[in-house]
Amino acid sequence: MIEGRNINKFFGDNHVLRDVSCKFHPGKTNLIIGQSGSGKTVLMKCLVGLFEVDNGQVLYDNRNFSAMNIEQRKEIRQELGMLFQGAALFDSMTVEGNVMFPLNMFTGKSVEEKIERVNFVLKRVNLVNSNKLMPSELSGGMKKRVAIARAIVMNPKYLFCDEPNSGLDPQTSNVIDLLIQELTYEYGITTIVNTHDMNSVLSIGDSIEFIYQGQIWWSGNKEEILHMGNKELNDFVFGTELTKRLRK
């Protein structure tokens, strides 16, 4: 389980996260939702240590990540994978090179073992015979799948996905969402997905934290979210013309 306790984050005078406390459970897709600028990306970056929290704690299975030094954090970081908004594939490496990178860096496996593992995870994300392609030759959806393959190649306990659907069409978005959910259930991963896509929320939102103006405003799941009387939440959930009409 990943837990945030009273997290505060400032950028200059701007108080971006205000006493955020939240829990993310293993074997579930935990969603952080909210409008652009609400603080959800900052929260995720605080959880993974890309930003230091100004106050509060981040705990990975009761291990206080915030209090660890760089060397101690390395151990935890080898247990986590992250899917970035733009996929963040290494331009100079092939698909195989990208997925194999963590194995090269942190394991002493033989080349054959590494290739076998790479092929396994690429098959798992439905990308076969793409090993020698360069990132520039891939579509947006394929890039995301390679990034997922790279994130899970080390069998992570924790998986972070920052806007996994950004820039994708609705059908491809759905494929990526379901893939993330399948992997979460299959390996019992603690998955945290940062999104403002309501399709994702209704499709994979086992647990949802709605963040508004830097605070956790509402917590629940995909079954509850459509029936709440919370104005700010409803403004977000029914923010599009389509959802407004459907609601009527």
Q: Which stretch binds other proteins (CB under 8 A): 26-34, 45-53, 56-64, 178-186?
A: 45-53
Quick one: 107 or 213, whose CB is closer to other proteins?
A: 107
List the one residue out of 199, 227, 184 whose CA is nearest residue 30: 184
Q: Is 100 in the site for other proteins (CB under 8 A)?
A: no
Judged by CB under 8 A, the residue of 8, 23, 84, 203 near other proteins is 84
Q: In whole angstroms, give the CA distance from residue 181 to residue 173.
A: 12
Which DSSP helix (H) or strand (E) runs through 59?
A: strand 55-60
18 φ/ψ angles, rounded to the nearest 5 degrees: -120, 100
CB of 77 to other proteins, least distance (A): 4
Q: Phi first, then psi: what are they for 223, rounded to 5°? A: -75, -35
Whole-number minimum distance, CB 50 to other proteins, in Å?
A: 6
Classify residue 11 by burial, with Cβ atoms within 10 Å: 0-12, 13-18, 19+. Answer: exposed
Whole-angstrom distance, CA of residue 56 vs CA of residue 54 = 7
CB contact set of 143 (below 8 Å; sequence gap of 6+): 87, 89, 135
Closest CB to other proteins among residues 47, 201 = 47
From residue 164, alpha-carbon distances to 50, 160, 207 in Å are 18, 10, 17
Both tokens of residue 174? 């759905």
82 scored as a contact of other proteins (CB under 8 A): yes
C-alpha 133: how far from its chain's center? 25
| Smallest separation, CB 215 to other proteins (Å) | 25
Pick from 15, 73, 109, 124: which binds other proteins (CB under 8 A)? 73
Least distance in Å: CB of 48 to other proteins? 6
Q: Does 11 bind other proteins (CB under 8 A)?
A: no
What is the pattern of x (binds other proteins, CB under 8 A) and - over residues 146-165? --------------x-----
When binding is defined by CB under 8 A, the residue of 43, 80, 125, 148 that contacts other proteins is 80
Q: ∠119-172-98 over CA atoms, to 5°?
A: 35
Using the minimum distance from each CB to other proteins, give the nearer residue, 39 or 97: 97
- Tell me if 51 contacts other proteins by CB under 8 A: no
Stretch that binds other proteins, among 81-89, 181-189, 190-198, 214-222 (CB under 8 A): 81-89
Residues that bind other proteins (CB under 8 A): 48-50, 73-75, 77-78, 80-82, 84-86, 88-91, 101-102, 104-106, 160
